[in-house]
Amino acid sequence: MALKGLDIFKLTPKTNCKECGNPTCMAFAMKVAQGAIPLEKCPHMGADVIAKLSEATAPPMKVIEVGAGNNAHKLGGETVLFRHEKTLVNKNLFATKLCSCMDDAKIDELLAGVKHVDYERIGERMYCEFLSLDYADNGVDKYVALVKKAMEADRALILNVECPECAKAALEVCKDAKPILNGANASNYEEMNKVATEAGVVLGVKGANLSELFDTVTALEAAGNKNLILDVTGATIKETFANAVQVRRSCLKENNRTFGYPSIVNLTKLCAGDERMQSALASVFTLKYGSIIVMDSMSYAQALPLYGLRQNIFTDPQKPMKVAPGIYPMNGADENAPCMITVDFALTYFVVSGEVERSQKPINFLITDAGGYSVLTAWAAGKLSASSIAKFFEEQDIAGKIKNRTLIIPGKVAVLKGEIEDKLPGWNIVVGTNEAIQIPKFLKDANF
């Protein structure tokens, strides 16, 4: 069981602490319990006490590191079930399935699709982070060839193989990339554990049910391996959902550290090629609780809503998502196109920019720093004013970059028109619409 502040106090020496100045070290103990200060800062603790307390105060779910270089990722480390309780730590990631049973043309097609879905949204790269490589029991050489081809795609790898010899051969060509070896079960865990530990990679654990999964993880931990990830995929959607939720609740609510690992959900085993069902289930397990979600493929039609959902869930609820201030030319806008300005609140940006795109009119879309607030909130808080807009124009050298002198402002802050005209002499300040949906008609009817 994790230690609380008073438990830590019982194990700390009662001498004058150089860190907190408290002769009983109570302040230091409470800070450690809250995660505000590392245990190593206490000069009175021995290495054995620090080791014991570090394990006791660690998150109930381990942080597992997979991949290497640009493809290094962290999984797990969560302390709560829901985003509104506290910020979630490490976002779930997505994988595309490849199989040694596929011909080269199919593999090339899927790899091209993986590379195609790769874009940036609000400062975060949106792409398929993993390739999940299935062994179809059709020869070690064919599987090794698949691994080599997947390595060229520059993605982290999951090796779905339960044959120890095949796993060992595959790791010979990719162990430096630190893949996940997802293949340990009740019958082969000893051999697979040896292969994974020798290669220094994360071992994925499977089970026919949660009881078997629990027993296998217990045996692996007894053997000294806690570098694990749990494959919670069941025979049906219902069973998989129950597994994912029960494993997470057991870890975070009951402090059962045997289930304190991130999870894999393999939708390719549940959807039988149904793309719509796959998209729906990917959304479900983004919420409940797939650390890695494996899919048959990833298209823009799937990626846009999935990554948007993920970004909403795995962000700090106390910190609004913001778009970087700057000039965003839209619909082929150049220096002769008029300007439209709004705030950096991500939702405002995407709603307004979508309507601007729909108008098909060239517009230089200007995003000013408003603290991540919406238009009216930013205006009420003093974050959006004539002075802040003038400062933004100076910092971005708008006048030097854009020849057109028309600036459209949000209709809800029409009161700023006169002040902006004073701050930006020579600019034609136009009051825009109150609602984003009115923008296409407004721009089409305007004569700038």
Query: CA angle 94-98-103, nearest 5°?
Result: 155
pLDDT of residue 273: 84
93 and 162, same domain (yes or no): yes
35 and 101, same domain (yes or no): no
284 and 333, same domain (yes or no): no
257 and 367, same domain (yes or no): no
Which among 232, 230, 214 has a CA at the least distance from the CA of 262?
230
101 and 160, same domain (yes or no): yes
CATH number (domain holding residue 121) = 3.20.20.20
46 and 71, same domain (yes or no): no
**Arithmetic mean of pLDDT, 46-50:** 72
In a domain, 353, yes or no: yes
pLDDT tens digits for 148-196? 999 999 999 999 999 999 999 999 999 999 999 999 999 999 999 999 9
pLDDT of residue 55: 67
45 and 118, same domain (yes or no): no
Q: How many domains does the chain have?
A: 3
237 and 91, same domain (yes or no): yes
Distance, in Å, from the CA atom of 169 to the CA atom of 152, rounded to the nearest integer, reads 18
Farthest CA pair distance, the chain: 78
pLDDT tens digits for 275-306? 999 999 999 999 999 999 999 998 888 898 99
User: Domain boundary at 313, 343, 358, which?
Assistant: 313
CATH number (domain holding residue 342) = 3.40.50.11600
Q: At residue 45, does pLDDT exceed 90?
A: no
Check if the beta carbon of residue 133 is closer than 8 Å to that of residue 166: no
285 and 230, same domain (yes or no): yes
**Could you tell me the residue range of the domain that residue 427 belongs to?**
326-445
Q: At residue 256, does pLDDT exceed 60?
A: yes
pLDDT of residue 312: 85
Check if the beta carbon of residue 173 is closer than 8 Å to that of residue 148: yes
Percent of the chain predicted with pLDDT > 70: 88
**Arithmetic mean of pLDDT, 418-428:** 95
36 and 138, same domain (yes or no): no
Rounded to two decimals, what is the model's pTM?
A: 0.78
In sequence order, what are the residues at sequence separation of 6 or more whose Cβ sits closer than 8 angstroms to the Cβ of residue 374?
343, 345, 347, 348
123 and 195, same domain (yes or no): yes
User: Domain boundary at 14, 34, 57, which?
Assistant: 57
The whole-angstrom distance between residue 346's C-alpha and the CA centroid of its chain comes to 17
41 and 155, same domain (yes or no): no
